[in-house]
Amino acid sequence: MTDAAPVLAARGVSKSFFGNPVLRDVSIALLPGRVHALLGENGAGKSTLINILSGALPADGGSVEIDGRAAARITPPEARQAGIAVVQQELSLTASLSIAENIGLGDYPRRFGMIDYRALADRAKSVCALVGLDEALSTPVGTLPLGRRQMVEIAKALYRKPRALILDEPTSSLSATETAILTALLVRLRAEGVAILYISHRLNEVMALCQHVTVLKDGGVTADRPLAGTDADGLVRLMVGRDPGDLFPRWQRSPSASDVVSVNGFSAGLARDIDLDIRTGEVLGIGGLVGQGQEDLLLGIYGAIPAKATTASVNGAPALPSSPPKANALGLAYVPADRKREGLHLIHSIATNLLLPAFARLPALTLRHRSAERETVRELAARFAIKGDPARQAQALSGGNQQKVALAKWMPHDPLVLLLNDPTRGVDVETKREIYIMLRQFAAAGKAVVLLSSDTPELVHVCDRVAVMREGRLVAMLDHGELSEEAIVAAAVGAERRRQAA
Amino acid sequence: MSAAGSVMPRVSAILRSRPFLTVAVVAAVWIVAGVTMRGFGAFGHLRYLVELAAVIGLVAAGQTFVVVAGGIDLSVAAIVTVSAVALPLLSLPGDPTGMSAVLATLALSTAIGLANGLGVAFLRVHPMIMTLAMATFLQGLLILIAGGTAISLDNPLVTWLGNARPAGIPVGILLWLAISAAVLVVMHATAFGARIFALGANPLAAALSGVPVNATTIAVYGISGFTAGLAGVLVLGMNGQGYVGIGDPYLLASIAAVVLGGTSILGGLGTYAGTMPGALLLVTITALITVVNASPGWRSILFGSLILGLLLLSGRESARR
């Protein structure tokens, strides 16, 4: 098994986006008849590596080998030709087309120049049987639940009879039954000699299914070894454990904490059945893998999406705010993750952006005072060190400065509760540090700061408490004393449950 | 030195602004046409053009609000007609001034606009569909009520509005100027004005910044209904009778005036200060085409082509995002 030539391999591959290195000298080899696990935190470079292996992205350096033949880059058609199939995390299906049409898309059997629907149905039916899809083949994919769509995506990959199969978090939306079917299928494909790359955050699946593991961290390989003899805790340690350096300000407990927001039985969007207290004078972290309902928790508390709770108390009010203006009136402020789409008005001036929450709250026909506005803008720009002429469009600013504008615009209202959705994503190190210091200052000034973050180290070093969410539920609440990257990641992937069972 | 330094960029910004450019185009056309065409430059003729522009300008005032807020109102022509047909029917015998009928008509047209806004805000119907459906609904209603007959006006206030000329200036023009001043103040000097720009530029970011999105949306369509109703009252006064189809020219005209004035059809950028010369430019083009003495079919083709040509010359939007 070990001496077989790799079907697909990357040798010393590097890639950077806009000057940020995402992959550094990464090598990985997919052998036939082996399930290879690829692990890493959010943003470790897993998706980029997959895209390079499947030809969707060219590498900056290094080479990709198919059956031992090296090439600086391969194109997606070449990859398909060589039998490489990818099951993407973000589904690539067309909602209005049927199951069969989606499965065969791009590789329809032809007869007299037309699509041979009978042959398509036959071939689609055989792969659907493999993954346990028993819906009618003519069902539009858009009408299927997410888990079934994921199975269509897998069937689509199998339709091409792959020799190398890459699965990017295939089980994140699957039920237990579907996961079992997929596991059995992968075991069979492995026996047939298919090379499989399996990406998952569920360590128990990885331990059960895979033989070899590669761990990525900050774009570099930290482990590449057989899985035998490794335990879940060992894997978690490999995924985290970087040197935090002096990026973070020294943590100090702020004096006096009292509850300002309390919810029981809170549900909104993906978030379900959450009991949570947000206290003044502290930074409360919200962690977990991406998309476990963290964002819906913040948006629900902010009144931006429909939410319900058995009991709720928000700054003295006995119910959740029903809209952002009402949340603002209760002293809540929200800074979105997607600055360009949700946070800023890119075509408007920096000054207009900074003043918008004020305009939103004033009685409609209040006359504007230009000189007072200019003074406010000047103060905010100075306090947050926002660079550039305030009359320029916000889209001219760098990511870090845009983030500062999105945060600064709330300051004239002196919000009591700041809900921050991943405020340091895509922000340079210097601005990150400035933001951390500001967050601690807010807490010291008696405000409540909620920091939703995909960056585990910042949760550990900036927060007083961290709530970890998994599959919409709040699965752990860690106090500052028990905070560590290992503890957060373990709670996020459900490793602590295994430990208790063991 | 420093004062001059801060004034010069401002002056050049004004010179390069779309409202100023549109004014310059109107002035150039008037001068050239005034010199080359007999009668065009006469005071009476120019005054007549401005009076016609006042009607378009009123309809386009509401349209500017809606477009800046990121929507579009395709029901303005139908609301103009509703206003011009309903007013004679709403006249009460006990009111010698005719004021009550005018107020009732304006309330009706504002209510129609608010209904548009409710549909867009709460039913989440696309503005084009909502206002087009409203226009179709109103047209049906008008045919049932008025049929093919013209309804004569018997209202002293409206007759005065359409015909009086204190100090030689038609009341319609004075009305337009007064409404324009109010529109410019609301749009550029109030919190509500800032909200509609934010709503048009990025509705999601506006909502998350605490802008009351639904209330703002309903308000802009209500304003559009009001100004279209006011235009209907004015056009009824100028015409002496209302009939089905009297408002038809004002749909394309209102949108064209907004866009010619430099307001982004995508919302979030623009000013009524551009719409005003945009309306003047439209009536000027119409007047020039009339002089050409072509058949109505050719006039319409020429008018459409000229609007397209002008927009290609000046109004194409640079790509966003």
SS3 annotation, B138-168: HHHHHHHHHCCCCEECCCHHHHHHHHCCHHH
Q: What's the mean per-residue pLDDT of chain A?
A: 86
Give pLDDT, residue B317.
54
Q: What's the mean per-residue pLDDT of chain B?
A: 89
Residue A42 has pLDDT above 60, yes or no: yes
Beta strands in B207-291 (DSSP E): 241-242
Q: Which residues of B touch A347 (CB under 8 A)?
A: 201, 268-269, 320
Residue A242 has pLDDT above 80, yes or no: no
Mean of pLDDT values over A230-250: 68
Query: pLDDT tens for residues A127-166?
Result: 888 888 888 888 898 888 777 888 898 899 898 889 999 9
Decide if A477 contacts A498 (C-beta within 8 A). Answer: no
Residue B13 has pLDDT above 90, yes or no: no
Total domains in chain B come to 1
Token readout for B87 is: 């007013």
Residue B59 has pLDDT above 90, yes or no: yes
Question: What does A75-116 look like in DSSP terms, one character per residue?
Answer: -HHHHHHTTEEEE-SS----TTSBHHHHHHTT---EETTEE-
Q: Which residues of A touch B185 (CB under 8 A)?
A: 367
CA distances from A234 to A482, A499, B23, B117 (A): 19, 12, 73, 59
Give pLDDT, residue B1.
38
At B217, is the pLDDT very low, low, confident or very high (cuts 50, 70, 90)? very high
Taking the whole predicted model, whether its pTM rises above 0.90 is answered as: no
Residue A498 has pLDDT above 60, yes or no: no
Q: Which residues of B touch A357 (CB under 8 A)?
A: 209-210
Mean of pLDDT values over A411-426: 89
Residue A256 has pLDDT above 90, yes or no: no
The answer to whether B206 contacts A345, with C-beta atoms less than 8 Å apart, is yes
Non-local CB neighbours of A407 within 8 Å, separated by 6+ positions: A335, A384, A420, A423, A435, A438
Q: Identify any residues that bridge with A459 across adjacent strands, giving them in sequence order.
A: none
Beta strands in A31-91 (DSSP E): 34-40, 61-66, 69-71, 84-87
Nearest-angstrom CA–CA distance, A159 and A101: 11
Angle, alpha carbons A147-A149-A151 (nearest 5°) = 75
Residue B3 has pLDDT above 70, yes or no: no
For residue B35, give the amino acid letter: V
Domain that holds residue B40: 19-315
Interface test with B, best of A328, A342, A345, A349 (most B CBs within 10 A): A345
Has residue B3 been placed in a domain?
A: no
The answer to which of A70-84, A150-164, A257-271, B49-63 has the lowest mean pLDDT is A70-84
Closest residue in A to B214 (Cα–Cα) = A323
Residue A3 has pLDDT above 70, yes or no: no
Mean of pLDDT values over B35-64: 92
Has residue B169 been placed in a domain?
A: yes
Report percent pLDDT > 70 for chain B. 94
Mean of pLDDT values over A459-480: 92
Token readout for B203 is: 């509705």
Residue closest to A390 by CA, chosen among A373, A372, A412:
A373
Nearest-angstrom CA–CA distance, B77 and A213: 68
Strand-by-strand arrangement of the A259-268 sheet: A271-279, A259-268, A311-314
Decide if A181 contacts A174 (C-beta within 8 A). Answer: no
Residue B62 has pLDDT above 90, yes or no: yes
| CA quadruple A154, A157, A163, A164: dihedral, nearest 10 | -70
Nearest-angstrom CA–CA distance, A376 and A3: 69
- Identify the residue whose tokens are 């200019």: A374
Q: How many CB atoms lie within 10 A of CB B148?
A: 8
At A469, is the pLDDT very low, low, confident or very high (cuts 50, 70, 90)? very high
Domains and CATH numbers, chain A: 8-239 (3.40.50.300), 259-501 (3.40.50.300)
At B4, is the pLDDT very low, low, confident or very high (cuts 50, 70, 90)? very low
At A400, is the pLDDT very low, low, confident or very high (cuts 50, 70, 90)? confident
Q: Which residues of A touch B206 (CB under 8 A)?
A: 345, 356, 360
Q: What does DSSP assign to residue B311?
A: I
Nearest-angstrom CA–CA distance, B100 and A331: 46
Token readout for A39 is: 């692990």
Has residue B1 been placed in a domain?
A: no
Query: pLDDT tens for residues B145-187?
Result: 887 788 888 888 999 999 999 988 999 999 999 999 999 999 9
Angle, alpha carbons B295-B301-B306 (nearest 5°) = 120
Decide if B271 contacts B187 (C-beta within 8 A). Answer: yes
Nearest-angstrom CA–CA distance, A81 and A67: 12
Has residue B260 been placed in a domain?
A: yes
Has residue B11 been placed in a domain?
A: no
Give pLDDT, residue B56.
97
Give pLDDT, residue B314.
59
Residue closest to A384 by CA, chosen among A401, A399, A371, A397:
A401
Interface A:B, Cβ pairs < 8 A: 90
Mean of pLDDT values over A422-444: 84
A155's enclosing H/E stretch is helix A146-159
Residue A401 has pLDDT above 90, yes or no: no
Give pLDDT, residue A1.
43
Query: pLDDT tens for residues B178-198?
Result: 999 999 999 999 999 999 999
Decide if A439 contacts A464 (C-beta within 8 A). Answer: no
Has residue B320 been placed in a domain?
A: no
Query: pLDDT tens for residues A327-373?
Result: 999 999 999 988 888 899 999 999 999 999 999 999 988 899 999 99
Which pairing describes strands A8-17 and A61-66: parallel, antiparallel, or unpaired?
antiparallel
At A449, is the pLDDT very low, low, confident or very high (cuts 50, 70, 90)? very high
Give pLDDT, residue A243.
46
What's phi and psi for B81, nearest 5 deg? -65, -45
At A28, is the pLDDT very low, low, confident or very high (cuts 50, 70, 90)? very high
Non-local CB neighbours of B75 within 8 Å, separated by 6+ positions: B112, B116, B131, B132, B134, B135, B138, B228
- Helix/strand/coil for A410: coil
Query: pLDDT tens for residues A215-237?
Result: 888 788 888 888 888 777 777 77
Give pLDDT, residue B309.
83
CATH number of the domain that residue B278 is part of? 1.10.3470
Burial label, A114 (beta-carbon count in 10 A; 0-12, 13-18, 19+)? exposed
Has residue B5 been placed in a domain?
A: no
Token readout for A350 is: 């920096």
Nearest-angstrom CA–CA distance, A193 and A164: 9
Query: pLDDT tens for residues A296-339?
Result: 999 999 999 999 999 999 998 999 999 999 999 999 999 998 88
Give pLDDT, residue A18.
66
Nearest-angstrom CA–CA distance, B259 and A97: 39
Nearest-angstrom CA–CA distance, B163 and B98: 15
In chain A, residues 283-302 whose CB comes closer than 8 Å to chain B: 302
Residue A4 has pLDDT above 90, yes or no: no
The answer to whether B206 contacts A360, with C-beta atoms less than 8 Å apart, is yes
- Does B181 contact A at CB distance below 8 Å? no
Give pLDDT, residue A374.
93
Decide if B282 contacts B53 (C-beta within 8 A). Answer: yes
Q: Which residues of A touch B211 (CB under 8 A)?
A: 325, 356, 359-360
- Torsion sign, CA atoms A105, A109, A114, A119: negative
Has residue B60 been placed in a domain?
A: yes
Which pairing describes strands A212-217 and A271-279: parallel, antiparallel, or unpaired?
unpaired
